[in-house]
């Protein structure tokens, strides 16, 4: 492919370095973020490909990118920017440094080791569990080795969500017969079956089973010509031990069940399949016979159960006292460990070095154990939040551990008087400190680099649900906190509302106007009231300034604001206020460089580009909104 795009700079930010692929409607480039010196994959949709299908096809491209941008799972590449220049649409996403499994399989000329395939299967089950568990479940529909990227650490990532569909209350968002023969479930790729059997999440279970079958046996779907010249896909999925007698009976059972033609005979959820993969060695006849022997032996133990019950009652009485003692001990040890960790952070910060780890710290583990012992004590959750904030960084892995803890014990706190305040504090944690790209690091010069461009967007969306819950439990919130929760919830909900409107082809002007008015009330203030964040903490101010800055820096969002009646003068005034207020935070940033430096630098260094973006968007407007003057007042 001719590399005519190499050397271009997109949106004054992304430099095209080389071509890394080409699709039916797109080119894929390796690009470098000039500000962060970070590599991205940039998917470009050219005018000739887009215009042939008109505006609907163009919107479909943007909708797909916005859909992927909403996904948040470590095995799914993130979309971090969407740029519509008019001539092309650019989708900026994670660059996956890896190789597709079908290519690795072909190069090595032999199947993968069983243990590796099972580990990948568990990872892919977790991805599908995430997709199927969304409020509108997503059916991936394209599981196959060529869409699974193998990375250097032997982990896998799932790519290409082009034919994914949502299961909406009104029915599937896409009813086409589509997918890859051999890997796609019969009800998904066979027209006759498709007419009578609906496609749901069980189609992904079939495709995953077929994919793991190929990887562990080396046998893949083949195309052959019939006597009439028609091409048909054949995939002979005999029991895997007929190909290799050394393979596990348990794995054979799993793959046979996953790839049943009738969805009712497959695993009904991915969680069931994952559980079997995690315990595949137990799915053998020998193991089942051992279990039957245990059941027979159980009858002999029933007689002794009365004695055990009596002992158990006594143990419960003793355990209550022990539990309280254990909880107090854990809290004390966690407090000591937290203090030591904070002192260590100060030392490494002074030395200009910082080591990131995905593992939980000693203090986090101790607080977690304390919660498990006494989940009704809301103060322990607050202490854990304070710990996350201590190093000015809430990582993706910390967020995942917090979510698991909350899903297990959070409901037990709802009747606690401090529940609203706790949810408000979690909202601030996500809004201010969440590093959704795991991109921040401290260099030898003690400077901080962080993901920008979509950072404020992602953090606002993540924090939204927590502010929404806090609003519904106002008894523990101050007037200031309640007011802030209402405004911050509006900021987060805006991005979801606009994405939904785009998918449904609806007018999002009201959402844009509400968002902008909230920004002005929060940052600029009104004739009757001072800015909402006037007395907020400095780090909170900077994050809200970043939300506003990225709103006027994005041509996509700014175009929406313009169409909703926001004038160029109001946009310029917002940018001026944000930049001036940010400069006033210089002394705070100097002392708290690790936490606030990247926010400050993004705004100050990007002011010129943002100003140019405002000029470009309003200059290119073919029709100015008729109600501009009214809304300026």
Residues 76, 108: one domain? no
Residues 562, 618: one domain? yes
- Over the stretch 191-220, which tens digit does the pLDDT of each residue have? 889 888 989 999 999 999 999 999 999 999
Longest dimension (CA), the chain: 87
Question: Residue 106: its pLDDT value, please?
Answer: 94
Distance of alpha carbon 607 from alpha carbon 614, whole angstroms: 11
Model confidence at 452: pLDDT above 80: no
Task: Report the share of the chain in percent with pLDDT over 90.
Answer: 37
Mean pLDDT calculated for residue range 598-626:
80
Distance of alpha carbon 358 from alpha carbon 146, whole angstroms: 29
Question: Residue 355: its pLDDT value, please?
Answer: 46
Is the model more confident about 571 or about 318?
Answer: 571
549-553 long-range contacts, Cβ below 8 Å, gap at least 24? 549/456, 549/575, 549/578, 549/579, 549/602, 549/603, 549/606, 549/610, 550/452, 550/453, 550/454, 550/455, 550/456, 550/457, 551/515, 551/519, 552/610, 552/613, 552/614, 553/606, 553/609, 553/610, 553/613
Is the model more confident about 388 or about 46?
Answer: 388
Question: Residue 346: its pLDDT value, please?
Answer: 53
Mean pLDDT calculated for residue range 97-101:
93
Mean pLDDT calculated for residue range 384-400:
85
- The torsion angle over the Cα atoms of residues 175, 180, 186 and 189, rounded to 10 degrees, is 40
Query: Among 177-186, 337-346, 545-554, 575-584, which stretch is predicted with the lowest mean pLDDT?
Result: 337-346
Is the model more confident about 265 or about 286?
Answer: 265
Bridge partners (DSSP) of residue 149 are 100, 157
Question: Residue 245: its pLDDT value, please?
Answer: 93
Which residues form the domain of 570? 323-632
Question: Residue 178: its pLDDT value, please?
Answer: 86
Q: Record the tokens describing residue 118, joined without a space.
A: 């099972």
Mean pLDDT calculated for residue range 391-401:
82
CB atoms within 10 A of CB 123: 19
The residue out of 47, 76, 94 marking a domain boundary is 94
User: How many domains does the structure of the chain reveal?
Assistant: 3
Query: Among 46-60, 116-130, 402-416, which stretch is predicted with the lowest mean pLDDT?
Result: 46-60
Domain with residue 201: its CATH number is 1.10.510.10
Does 66 map to a domain?
yes
Is the model more confident about 374 or about 437?
Answer: 374
Model confidence at 600: pLDDT above 60: yes
Give the N- to C-terminal CA distance of the chain in Å, as an integer: 54
The residue out of 94, 127, 157 marking a domain boundary is 94
Residue 444: pLDDT band (50, 70, 90) is very low
For residue 268, give Cα distances in angstroms to 180, 245, 250, 264: 22, 28, 18, 7
Residues 414, 497: one domain? yes
Q: How many Å is the Cα radius of gyration of the chain?
A: 28
Residue 272: pLDDT band (50, 70, 90) is very high
The helix/strand/coil state of 581 is helix
Q: Mean pLDDT for the chain?
A: 82
Distance of alpha carbon 400 from alpha carbon 406, whole angstroms: 10
The residue length of the chain stands at 633
Question: Residue 385: its pLDDT value, please?
Answer: 92
Residues 261, 389: one domain? no
Domain with residue 22: its CATH number is 3.30.200.20
């Amino acid at each position: 492919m001719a590399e005519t795009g190499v050397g271009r700079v997109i949106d004054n930010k992304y430099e095209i370095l080389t071509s890394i692929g080409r699709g039916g409607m797109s080119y894929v480039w390796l690009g470098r973020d000039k500000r962060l010196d970070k590599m991205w994959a940039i998917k470009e949709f050219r005018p000739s490909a887009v215009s042939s299908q008109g505006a609907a096809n163009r919107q479909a491209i943007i909708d797909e990118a916005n859909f992927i941008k909403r996904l948040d799972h470590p095995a799914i590449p993130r979309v971090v920017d969407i740029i519509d220049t008019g001539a092309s649409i650019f989708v900026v996403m994670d660059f996956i440094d890896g190789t597709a499994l079908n290519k690795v399989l072909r190069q090595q000329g032999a199947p993968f080791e069983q243990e590796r395939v099972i580990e990948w299967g568990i990872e892919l089950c977790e991805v599908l569990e995430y997709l199927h568990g969304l409020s509108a479940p997503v059916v991936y529909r394209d599981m196959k080795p060529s869409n699974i990227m193998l990375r250097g650490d032997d982990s896998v990532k799932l790519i290409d969500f082009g034919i994914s569909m949502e299961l909406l209350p009104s029915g599937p968002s896409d009813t086409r017969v589509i997918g890859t023969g051999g890997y796609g479930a019969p009800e998904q790729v066979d027209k006759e079956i498709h007419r009578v059997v609906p496609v749901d999440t069980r189609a992904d279970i079939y495709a995953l089973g077929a994919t793991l079958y190929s990887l562990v046996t080396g046998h893949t779907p083949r195309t052959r010509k019939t006597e009439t010249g028609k091409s048909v896909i054949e995939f002979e999925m005999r029991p895997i031990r007929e190909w290799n007698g050394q393979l596990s009976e348990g794995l054979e059972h799993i793959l046979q069940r996953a790839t049943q033609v009738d969805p009712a005979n497959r695993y009904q959820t991915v969680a069931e399949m994952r559980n079997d993969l995690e315990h595949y060695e137990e799915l053998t006849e020998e193991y089942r016979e051992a279990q039957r022997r245990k059941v027979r032996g159980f009858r002999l133990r029933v007689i002794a159960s009365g004695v055990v019950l009596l002992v158990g009652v006594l143990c419960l009485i003793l355990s209550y006292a022990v539990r309280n003692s254990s909880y107090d001990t854990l809290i004390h040890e966690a407090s000591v460990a937290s203090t030591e960790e904070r002192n260590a952070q100060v030392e490494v910060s002074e030395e200009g070095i910082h080591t990131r780890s995905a593992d939980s710290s000693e203090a986090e583990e101790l607080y977690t154990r304390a919660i498990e012992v006494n989940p009704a004590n809301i103060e322990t959750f607050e202490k854990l939040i304070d710990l996350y904030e201590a190093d000015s960084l809430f990582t993706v892995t910390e967020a995942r551990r917090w979510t698991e803890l909350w899903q297990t014990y959070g409901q037990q706190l709802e009747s606690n008087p401090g529940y609203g305040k706790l949810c408000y504090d979690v909202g601030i944690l996500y809004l201010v400190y969440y590093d959704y790209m795991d991109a921040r690091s401290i260099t030898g010069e003690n400077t901080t680099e962080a993901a920008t461009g979509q950072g404020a967007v992602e953090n606002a969306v993540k924090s939204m649900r927590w502010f929404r819950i806090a609003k519904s439990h106002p008894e523990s919130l101050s007037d200031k906190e309640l007011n802030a929760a209402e405004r911050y919830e509006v900021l987060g909900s805006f991005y979801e509302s606009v994405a939904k409107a785009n998918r449904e082809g609806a007018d999002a002007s009201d959402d844009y106007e509400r968002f902008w008015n909230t920004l002005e009330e929060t940052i600029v203030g009104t004739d009757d009231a001072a800015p909402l964040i006037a007395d907020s903490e400095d780090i909170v101010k900077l994050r809200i300034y970043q939300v506003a800055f990225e709103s006027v820096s994005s041509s996509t969002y700014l175009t929406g604001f313009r169409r909703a009646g926001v004038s160029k003068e109001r946009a310029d005034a917002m940018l001026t206020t944000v930049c001036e207020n940010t400069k006033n935070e210089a002394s705070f940033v100097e002392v708290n460089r690790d936490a606030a430096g990247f926010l400050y630098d993004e705004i100050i260094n990007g002011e010129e580009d943002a100003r140019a973006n405002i000029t470009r968007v309003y200059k290119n407007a073919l029709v100015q909104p008729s109600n501009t003057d009214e809304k300026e007042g």
